[in-house]
Amino acid sequence: GTLEELVQKVDVVLDATSAGIGAKNKELYAKYN
């Protein structure tokens, strides 16, 4: 599946990606908060 599909199904996300990537992904996480 995709990251977006995963985010839709989980309750908690722990983002341990490289610097700057988490900030980019934050928009996706907020979409499903």
Q: Which bin fits 25, alpha (ψ -120 to 50), beta or left (φ > 0)?
A: alpha
Tens digit of each residue's pLDDT, the chain (33 residues): 999 999 999 999 999 999 999 999 999 999 998
Structure confidence at residue 20 (pLDDT)? 92
Structure confidence at residue 33 (pLDDT)? 86
Structural domains in the chain (count): 1
CB burial of 20-30 (b: ≥16 within 10 Å; e: otherwise) equals eeeeeeeeeee
Which residue range forms the structural domain that includes residue 21? 1-33
Does the reported pTM lie above 0.75?
no
Structure confidence at residue 14 (pLDDT)? 94
- Return the structure tokens found at 23: 């900030």
The single-letter code of the amino acid at 9 is K
